[in-house]
Structure 1
Amino acid sequence: MEGRDGDGDGADGPGEDGDGKGRPKGKPRSFWKELPLLIGIALVLALLIKTFLVQAFSIPSNSMNNTLLRGDRVLVDKLTPWFGSEPERGEVVVFHDPGGWLKEAPESDSGPVIEGIQKALSFIGLMPSAEEKDLIKRVIAVGGDTVECQKGGPVKVNGKALDEPYIQSGDTPCDDRPFGPVKIPDDRLWVMGDNRDDSLDSRYHQNIEQGTVPVDEVVGRAIVVAWPIDRWSTLSVPGTFDQPGLSAAAAVGPSALGLAGALPIVLWRRARMTRKATARQES
């Protein structure tokens, strides 16, 4: 019995693990054995980031020149919509084709291997998808706003003219396609490209829901130009959208406040005149 116990100690002694393979306890696994686990964790994290946080998108056309150029890669914030945040005026947003805005995508001739790699990388958010029908434009007006632009004039939102330094140099605000006034329905957006002379935006699709885009179709807000490196920049909201009175609610606000302030004065004067008339009658 003792000999067997001794043999057992020798086969499973303190310097070896219990699998009988002679690997010392505490010795880390080889890199190649750990690699599949690391790749799996990385893929799960990338998929979660794509789904809930940020996703890369490629600019497919010239419609946002010079803010965004064809081939630029932008990072899109997908987190804030999960908390109920909706697109605001001036933001550059990515949205799904609301119907009829994009033509059928041309068939790819890159080969099955390259296509497979692209699909795999786009699935986890490391590469823009070649199949998703998404567009990128700037939000000009939101639900409740009235937007218009006459030839030779600026774009107006709720009667306020927009100073638009972001549109491509040499372009006019809307001379190629004047429009409006258009009342934007709730939960919809009016969007336009910064390259006004080469952007098939809301102006050109007014036969479909007045050219507006459903808020539910918005993927997220483009926040950063990430590639190429020499074009790295953030995509902030231009100051023209912060001007007083631009909001439809704010435009009505002063009138409502004036009415509320005037009402007590009117009632006081009416009561005073009534008292005077009563006093004259009694005298």
Structure 2
Amino acid sequence: MGDVAVGARSGHDGEENRGRPADAADPATDDAVTSGSDAADERTQPGEDGPGDSAPKKKAQRSFWKELPILIGIALVLALLIKTFLVQAFSIPSDSMQDTLQQGDRVLVDKLTPWFGSEPERGEVVVFHDPSKWLYGEPTADPNIVQTFLSWIGLMPSAEEKDLIKRVIGVGGDTVECKGTGPLKVNGKALNEASYVYPGNTPCTDDEMGQFKVKVPKGFLWVMGDHRQNSRDSRYNQDDKYHGMVPVDEVVGRAIVKAWPINRWGTLPVPDTFDQDGLNTQSAASTALTVAPQGLALAGAVPLVLWRRRRTASAETR
């Protein structure tokens, strides 16, 4: 366009300047030339882009350390979502589930499958909200600010939560009974509980509350601790409004993994005795998640940050 403009101007000036000396300068012609090819030559210096080739300079990409707070923030948000909807960590406060679980163990609880309509099955270890003041009189811990933060992101349970952990023995429609010292029976089938009942304990306790025969209503569970002589479970709460039963709606989720201490790491499978003929097997929908909330959160945050970095770099080079 600069050359065309210069040519058109030169022709017009040729008529007006007839008779003038050849070296007479026309200010208008000088302006046209200056704003055309010569101007471009003046603006284009060695090592510089021309007017048609100019592009924004690429900004330096932020360092990993500047991106780290974003990564941590995303991880914390994901951890909160995972704690709320997928997996949460709980601490074992008593000996009622020995030797399966020891006091101080940390377990990961699957909170996802109940969202898809899955209900607890016989033999599963479940965490549930106190159904009817089973923990009445138990002291509530006074957490410090660090414990409060860790409970918020799922590393520790909340001190205000009144939750218990037991093994499901009977589900809705089952008949559960104990006579003498055992064996414990479900729908007339004797359970071989040697693999999980505390060594030296009998499956049934030879006392008033330890002798029972109950029919579990639909939508409820009958639960017992693995340390039969040291567990205030369904047997000892038959005088409450649910007659010792736990409403399925009060179940937080299934404990699937012993995560801490590391030397006690392991899964919490359903014992084989619950697979015998006449008893339902574990639902295929109860697939366990075995990754801690923070691991899932970090795994989800890293791709998001990398995607964001690539997107930013691409926008800066356009």
Q: Bin the TM-score by the shorter chain.
A: 0.7 to 0.9
Aligned to 1:234: 267
Residue 190 of structure 1, CA deviation? 0.1
Aligned to 2:170: 141
Residue 26 of structure 1, CA deviation? 4.0
Aligned to 2:204: 174
Residue 180 of structure 1, CA deviation? 2.2
Aligned to 2:188: 159
* Structure 1 length-normalised TM: 0.75
Contact 2:127 2:164 in 1 (8 A): yes
State how far apart, in whole Å, the 2-side matches of 1:108 and 1:77 are: 24
State how far apart, in whole Å, the 2-side matches of 1:233 and 1:103 are: 32
Which deviates the most, 214-223 or 150-159?
A: 150-159
State how far apart, in whole Å, the 1-side matches of 2:142 and 2:271 are: 40
Residue 168 of structure 1, CA deviation? 0.2
Contact 1:145 1:158 in 2 (8 A): yes
Contact 1:46 1:126 in 2 (8 A): no
Residue 246 of structure 1, CA deviation? 3.0
1:71 to 2:104 alignment:
yes
Residue 54 of structure 1, CA deviation? 1.0
1:198 to 2:230 alignment:
yes
Q: CA RMSD in A?
A: 2.4
What amino acid is the match of 2:193? E
CA gap 1:173/1:182 in 2 versus in 1, 3 angstroms: same
Contact 2:125 2:254 in 1 (8 A): yes
Q: String of CA shifts for 1:236-264, please: whole Å, max 9, x gaps.
A: 111111111235xxxxxxxxxxxxxxxxx
Secondary structure, counterpart of 1:39 in structure 2: helix
Aligned to 1:80: 113
State how far apart, in whole Å, the 2-side matches of 1:153 and 1:74 are: 29
Aligned to 2:294: none
Which deviates the most, 25-34 or 204-213?
A: 25-34
Unmatched runs of 5 consecutive residues or more in structure 2: 1-34, 281-318
Aligned to 1:210: 243
Determine what percentage of the aligned residue pairs are the same residue.
Answer: 68
Contact 2:140 2:159 in 1 (8 A): no
- Any residues of structure 2 matched to 1:7-46 within 5 Å, and which? 17=57, 25-46=58-79
State how far apart, in whole Å, the 2-side matches of 1:106 and 1:14 are: 72
**Residue from 123, 128, 139 that aligns with 2:152:** 123
Aligned to 1:90: 123
State how far apart, in whole Å, the 2-side matches of 1:94 and 1:227 are: 17
- Which runs of at least 4 in structure 1 moved beyond 6 Å after TM superposition? 13-16
What amino acid is the match of 1:71? G
Q: String of CA shifts for 1:123-160, please: whole Å, max 9, x gaps.
A: 22122222211100000000000111012221111111
What amino acid is the match of 1:99? S
Contact 1:182 1:210 in 2 (8 A): no
State how far apart, in whole Å, the 1-side matches of 2:256 and 2:157 are: 16
Q: Which structure carries more relative contact order (alpha carbon 8 Å, separation 6+)?
A: 2
State how far apart, in whole Å, the 2-side matches of 1:105 and 1:123 are: 23
What amino acid is the match of 1:74? V
Aligned residues: 232
Secondary structure, counterpart of 1:28 in structure 2: coil
Greater radius of gyration (CA) = 2
CA gap 1:108/1:146 in 2 versus in 1, 3 angstroms: closer
What amino acid is the match of 1:118? Q
Residue 14 of structure 1, CA deviation? 7.0
CA gap 1:14/1:129 in 2 versus in 1, 3 angstroms: farther
Unmatched runs of 5 consecutive residues or more in structure 1: 18-24, 248-283
* Structure 2 length-normalised TM: 0.67
